[in-house]
Chain A
Amino acid sequence: AQTVTQSQPEMSVQEAETVTLSCTYDTSESDYYLFWYKQPPSRQMILVIRQEAYKQQNATENRFSVNFQKAAKSFSLKISDSQLGDAAMYFCAYRSVYNQGGKLIFGQGTELSVKP
């Protein structure tokens, strides 16, 4: 069975600085998808970024980028030029391409605070 681990329960960053959130996963599959989701306080969970395992190139979405190391089974999220609105709980998630229904396996979450 696949597992996802986020070893940093809490992180803090100064506004305008860069922060990296860590995520590792365990799987025997060769093809899968990895996601980072953001859950602001009392607000809806939204997708931040997605990475396909078969792609070597790291995904980027504006100030958000990932460092995907397939052999190491590592998938970290880098937030550049941090803004107050980035404060949220961040979840890393794994999705197999093989199982029906496409369920997500989540990590424990990292709570990010942004200091002005």
Chain B
Amino acid sequence: DVKVTQSSRYLVKRTGEKVFLECVQDMDHENMFWYRQDPGLGLRLIYFSYDVKMKEKGDIPEGYSVSREKKERFSLILESASTNQTSMYLCASSLIDAWRPQHFGDGTRLSIL
């Protein structure tokens, strides 16, 4: 089975901190994604990557950056955390073909105080 592992299930940080969310997949998937999930809004794409060192902005990239130095790892960075970034963050990965499903991690519930 595909395993997508997010480094933390729950995380509490303070306003202004630099925050790192890590995601690792074990199935050699080309594509990796970071989503933000908020009630009533569904999942919104922050950034995605279709290859090592490649990244593309999603629908809500402001305040975030990403890093993909190795194929299996995709990191989401909050450069200076703000309270409006309190949310559930989901990482996903998939093979490159459009019909392939995305496989999701358990999510990180991030609270910014």
Tell me if chain B binds chain A: yes
Q: Report B-chain residues with C-beta under 8 Å of the C-beta of A11.
A: none
Bound-complex Cα distance A100 to B35 (A): 17
With A43-B106, A45-B104, A103-B58 as known contacts, state yes or no: A95 contacts B98, CB within 8 Å. yes
Bound-complex Cα distance A102 to B56 (A): 11
Which one of B40, B45, B98 has the highest number of Cβ atoms from chain A below 10 Å of its Cβ? B98
Whether the pair B98, A9 counts as a contact (CB closer than 8 A) is: no
Bound-complex Cα distance A50 to B101 (A): 8
Identify A91's interface contact among B42, B50, B101, B107, CB under 8 A.
Answer: B42
Q: Report A-chain residues with C-beta under 8 Å of the C-beta of B43.
A: 91, 104, 106
Complex interface residues of chain A between 84 and 105 (CB less than 8 A to chain B):
91, 95-97, 100-105
Identify B96's interface contact among A33, A102, A109, CB under 8 A.
Answer: A102
With A95-B98, A103-B45 as known contacts, state yes or no: A9 contacts B106, CB within 8 Å. no
Whether the pair B101, A107 counts as a contact (CB closer than 8 A) is: no
Whether the pair B104, A108 counts as a contact (CB closer than 8 A) is: no
Partner-B contacts on A (CB < 8 A): 4, 6, 9, 33, 35, 43-47, 50, 52, 91, 95-97, 100-109
Bound-complex Cα distance A104 to B34 (A): 11
Bound-complex Cα distance A26 to B20 (A): 35
Q: Report B-chain residues with C-beta under 8 Å of the C-beta of A33.
A: 98-99
Identify B102's interface contact among A43, A52, A100, A104, CB under 8 A.
Answer: A104
